[in-house]
Amino acid sequence: MVENGSLIRPGMKVALVPCPALGDTTLFLWLAWRLQAAGVEVSLYSTALISLRGYLPGLAILGSQYDLEELSRSNDLVICALKRFDEGSASEHSNVAYLASKKFSSDHPLARRQVFIRDNILPGGNNVICRDSRAGKTMAQWIDVYANEVLGLDVGSAPAGFQSLPASSEDAKRRIAIFPTSPNANKNYSPRGFRRLADKLVSKGWVIEFVGTVPEQAALQSLYPNYIVHAFVNLKGLVDYLRSCSVVISNDSGGGHIASLLGLHTFTITRRRVDFSWRPGFNSLNHVINPSITFKWLGRPIWRPFISHRRLIRGLPKW
C-alpha cells in the first residue's frame, strides 16, 4: 500500500460528481481547485456550473448526466456525493469514492468497502465531510481535511479560485445583496424582519437590493416593493451581479456560499449555533446572526423575533 500523499500525482484524472444543491456544489468546486493545484485533470459534473466555464479555466465542467461505468473506466478516481450512491452499480467500480455530508451508519455498504486508485488502496476514500459538527469547523474547512488527510493535497494556501471575473463596480462597497429565501422555508428569517432590516440599512447609507430565483421574483417584489429584486437565469448572472456588492445577507442558503467564494462579507441569519458547520466558510469574513433566545410554542421553535439587527449592523465593514 502506498502512502496517500504519493497517490495523487500530476497528470492523473479525477471526476467529481456533487449533488445539485448549490452549497454542495461549491464544496466540490473547492475540492476541484485543490486537485487542479496538484496538477490533476479534473472534470466536474454540475449543470449549475456550466455557465461559469469562462471563470473556471482548466476545469472540465460538464452537465449532471453521467455514466458511472464510463467515469470509472476513463478516470483514475471518481468522487461522488453520497446521494449519488447506487449499491448495485457502485460495488462494481473500485475507484469510485463517496462523500457524505455527515455520518452514515456502520452497516452502510460503504463502511466496509475499500477504494482503489491505480491498484493502490486509498484509505478513507469513502468518508464524511463533516466528521464532528461540534468542532466549529466550516464545511469548507472539513473538505480541506479530506483533501489533505485522505488525498494528500496541500491545503496551506487558498486555491486559485475564479479567474477573469468582471471588474468590481465603483459603488460595490455601498451595496448589500439580501437573499431572503432558501429551499427550506422553515429555516428562513421572516419577510417582515428582512424588510425592517433593509430599511435600517438604507437609513445608514447602504444600497440594498434583494435576490431570489426567477419563479420567486414576482412574489418577492410584492413583499419588498421599495427595493430592486433581482433574479438570474444562470449562475453566471448571479456571480456577475455579486461583483457589484461587498456584503451578502442570507438565510442558510447557497447565495451565502457563492458570496464567500467570491471573497465577500457574509451574514447568515439562522436559529442554529454561531459555529454551525454549514455557514459560509471559504473566507474569514463570515458572520452568523442567531437569536438571543429560542423557545417552543405548540411544538414550533420561536426564534425570528429575537434576531438582533443591531448586532448585524455592528458587524458590517467600516469602509
pLDDT, residue 163, reads: 97
Per-residue pLDDT tens digits for 66-100: 999 999 999 999 999 988 776 555 557 899 999 99
In this structure, are 131 and 186 located in the same domain?
Answer: no
Per-residue pLDDT tens digits for 188-217: 999 999 999 999 999 999 999 999 999 999
Structural domain span for residue 225: 172-315
- Is 111 a member of any domain? yes
In this structure, are 183 and 144 located in the same domain?
Answer: no
User: What CA dihedral angle connects 69, 71, 75 and 81, to 10 degrees?
Assistant: -110
d(CA 164, CA 43): 20
Per-residue pLDDT tens digits for 95-116: 999 999 887 777 777 777 899 9
In this structure, are 206 and 144 located in the same domain?
Answer: no
CATH number at 83 reads 3.40.50
Give the Å distances, CA to CA, from 103 to 75, 79, 130, 206, 274. Answer: 27, 17, 8, 42, 21
pLDDT, residue 264, reads: 98
Rg (the chain; Cα; Å): 21
97: nearest Cα among 126, 68, 69: 126
In this structure, are 180 and 82 located in the same domain?
Answer: no
pLDDT, residue 5, reads: 53
CATH number at 246 reads 3.40.50.2000
Residue 23 has pLDDT above 80, yes or no: yes
- Is 91 a member of any domain? yes
In this structure, are 111 and 198 located in the same domain?
Answer: no
In this structure, are 142 and 33 located in the same domain?
Answer: yes
Q: How many domains does the chain have?
A: 2
In this structure, are 14 and 124 located in the same domain?
Answer: yes
- C-alpha cell at position 31: 475540492
**HEC assignment per residue over 128-178:** ECCCCCCCCCCHHHHHHHHHHHHCCCCCCCCCCCCCCCCCCCCCHHHEEEE
pLDDT bucket at 3, cuts 50 / 70 / 90: very low
- Is 108 a member of any domain? yes
In this structure, are 245 and 109 located in the same domain?
Answer: no
pTM of the predicted protein model: 0.94
